[in-house]
Every structure is written in structure tokens, then in C-alpha cells.
Amino acid sequence: MNKGLFPRHEGHLDELSQLEALIQQAGPLLESRVISYSATRDHLYPVYSLRLGNPSPEVPALAFVGGIHGVERIGTQVILAFLESLITRLRWDETLLETLNHVKLVFLPLMNPVGMFRNWRANGNGVDLMRNSPVDADEKVPWLGGGHRLSRHLPWYRGRLGADMESEALALGKVIREELFPAPFSLVLDCHSGFGTRDRIWFPYAYSRTQVVEHLPELYQLRKMLFTTYPHLHYLFEPQSRHYTTHGDLWDHLYLQAIEQQRTFLPLTLEMGSWLWVKKNPAQLRRLVGMFHPIQPHRVRRVLRHHQLLMEFLVRATRSYDRWSSAMIRERNRDEARALWYSDVFCSAR
Ligand SMILES: [Zn+2]
């Protein structure tokens, strides 16, 4: 029987144990709930949503999401490292406590525990959660990688046509709609790894190269603030479609819903470039997980440290949103943003 504080999951997963230890350590300031369960034949894993800060729908909100792809453990670890630092600071950091009066922070660090337990990208049903929404690309996508309905035994499987979305994807959407959409401003950082040698920050759309998000001026302003505040940070900050388009992107799906409801919602994806980890240590090619996760401890520590600054920046930017997302700034940025990210699209359309 299930005894004790946490649901039973005997198939051990370090990241889940770490997450539950943090929940215990944090005490009542961190609210936690189980939003879904995912199961293997033998084990049941809870999917947690955590909340820190002001729960009011009147304050801006920021969510950190990780572990959507089970094999990309570093995304979960980056969020847990940040959460741990916040929890430690709750005891002494007056500026953090003051910030938390004005902002809501939501953490969904381990969305696909079965995938992580198995060192898989997909969830327990073989579905790629980031290809699982009903949004179809408006042009040809990369074969398989862009999402397909051929077989759950091939990676990037979207799920059956017309089937409900997977329970993890539904639970994520529900939390985002309940916790973020009512806020006057909201932002997401969804942490992944594996594409290229550079760290990238992507924003929608993934389904189209030519459709431009409503909040392009805000994204442009956020990028400008990040690069002027931390000039030594080397992120590429771009629409995902500059690299490849996909079917079924969850953030496209949620962004389109937010726009329908006239919400200001900026979903970002942090794509940590893992090819460099492999280049510096080719031996890790032998372990599949090594493609998506730095194996050497010093490299793991460096990755965790590096992204803390970005996460800290996003907390401050969210809290101070009304200083930098006014109508005037929107007007000023619109053309520059299009010139930066969509010059090919708009030139060829003329
Ligand atoms: Zn991923």
C-alpha cells in the first residue's frame, strides 16, 4: 500500500527523488500537487506542478517546464537547480520574498517521468509529447522528425489521428490555462536539449515559417533586454521555424488558444545545444542519453550555472512586464523585429 508522503514509484528515478526532497525541504511556501500520473507496467510516476509566490490571477506569471522529452534530463536538472536555489533563498533573501509578492512562479520540472525512466524521448505510449497537439504544419516538415502518424515504434510519433492528447500533454495545458492565462502577462521557459552546438531560445510558431506571432514586439524587447543586461550570454533567440517546422507543437497549440482569449502569453523554449558536449567527449556517443545530456560532472555543473542567469532574468522581466511591454514599445519594435527575424518572408511577399 501507499504509505508516507509521496505516491509510490519503485522504479527509481533520481530527478523525481530530488524533486520530492525539494518539496519537503521547501515547506508551506511551495505549493505542490500531482496533476497526472504516468505508468509503466510495473511502476506509477506522479507528474508534479509546483507554485511559489503570489497565487492571485492579477499578478504576472512565469512557468518553468522540463522533461517533456525523457532523454533530455538536463532540462529537468536545470530547473531543479534553480528551484533549489530559490528554496534556499526563501530563508534569508528579502529581495526574493519581495519579488514573490508580485509574481507567480509555476514549476513543471518533470513532465514525462516514464520517458526519463526508460531513457526515451517519447512518453509511456510511445508518443512524442511535443508533436502531440492537433496543430498541423502549413508546409512540408522534415521526414519523421517533423512529427508523423506512422507508428509509435518510430521516434517523433504524434499519436493516432483524432485520438485525445496524451495525459501529460493535457495536464500541462490545463495548468498553463489555469495558472498563466488569467495573468495580465505570462511567460514560459520550456527546457530541452539536443539541437546543434549553440544554446537557443525559440518562440512560436513551429508550424509555419510565414505566420508571425502577435507578440513579436514583446519578444524582440525581451531579447534586447537580455543581451544588453548580460552581454556575455550567448543565446540565439529566434522563431523555431527558422530551423525546422513541425506538426503538433504544444506551445503553438497553447499560444493559439491564448491569442483567441486575447492573453499576453510568451512561450519560450530553451534548446541547449548538446552537439558540443559530444564533440568534446565523443565517448558519450556510445550512450544514447549522452547525446542529450552532458556526462562529465564539470560540464553538467557549468550548464546548470549558465542557465540560472537566464531564469533569474526571466523572473525579473516577468515581474516588471509593464515597464517594457507598453503600446509605445510595441509600435517602436514591430518593424525592427520583422526585419531581424522575417526579412526573407516579408521581402519575398512584396
Ligand atoms: Zn526536447
Count of C-beta atoms within a 10 Å radius of residue 160: 11
Q: Which long-range contacts (CB under 8 A, 24 or more apart) does 92-101 make?
A: 99/53, 99/315, 99/316, 99/319, 100/52, 100/53, 100/54, 101/53, 101/54
289 Cα to the center of ligand 1, angstroms: 12
Ordered by where they begin, the domains of the chain are 14-349 (3.40.630.10)
- Say if CB 252 and CB 206 are below 8 A apart: yes
Q: How confident is the model at residue 277 (pLDDT cuts 50, 70, 90)?
A: low
pLDDT at 210 over 90: yes
340 Cα to the center of ligand 1, angstroms: 25
202 Cα to the center of ligand 1, angstroms: 12
* pLDDT tens-digit readout, 115-139: 999 999 999 999 999 999 999 999 8
Q: What's the rounded Cα separation, in Å, for the pair 202 and 235? A: 10
* pLDDT score, position 3: 38
pLDDT at 149 over 50: yes
30 Cα to the center of ligand 1, angstroms: 27
* pLDDT score, position 194: 84
Under 8 Å CB-to-CB from 343, ≥6 apart: which residues? none
186 Cα to the center of ligand 1, angstroms: 22
pTM: 0.93
162 Cα to the center of ligand 1, angstroms: 24
138 Cα to the center of ligand 1, angstroms: 21
Q: What's the rounded Cα separation, in Å, for the pair 133 and 27? A: 35
192 Cα to the center of ligand 1, angstroms: 4
182 Cα to the center of ligand 1, angstroms: 27
pLDDT at 76 over 70: yes
pLDDT at 204 over 60: yes
* pLDDT tens-digit readout, 223-257: 999 999 999 988 999 999 998 999 999 999 999 99
pLDDT at 286 over 70: no
**In the structure, how many helices (H) and strands (E) does the chain have?**
11, 8
pLDDT at 4 over 70: no
328 Cα to the center of ligand 1, angstroms: 35
* pLDDT tens-digit readout, 8-56: 455 789 999 999 999 999 999 999 999 999 988 888 999 999 999 999 9
Q: How confident is the model at residue 196 (pLDDT cuts 50, 70, 90)?
A: confident
- For residue 323, what is its C-alpha cell? 515597464
Q: Work out the average pLDDT over 307-333.
A: 95
Q: How confident is the model at residue 169 (pLDDT cuts 50, 70, 90)?
A: very high
110 Cα to the center of ligand 1, angstroms: 12
Q: Work out the average pLDDT over 317-337.
A: 94
295 Cα to the center of ligand 1, angstroms: 17
pLDDT at 346 over 80: no
5-9, 11-15, 60-64, 283-287: range with highest mean pLDDT? 60-64
Please name the residue ranges forming H helices in the chain: 14-26, 73-89, 94-100, 113-117, 167-175, 216-229, 250-260, 275-280, 297-319, 321-324, 327-349
Three-state DSSP at 72 gives coil
280 Cα to the center of ligand 1, angstroms: 21
Q: What's the rounded Cα separation, in Å, for the pair 158 and 144? A: 10
Q: How confident is the model at residue 298 (pLDDT cuts 50, 70, 90)?
A: confident
Q: How confident is the model at residue 350 (pLDDT cuts 50, 70, 90)?
A: very low
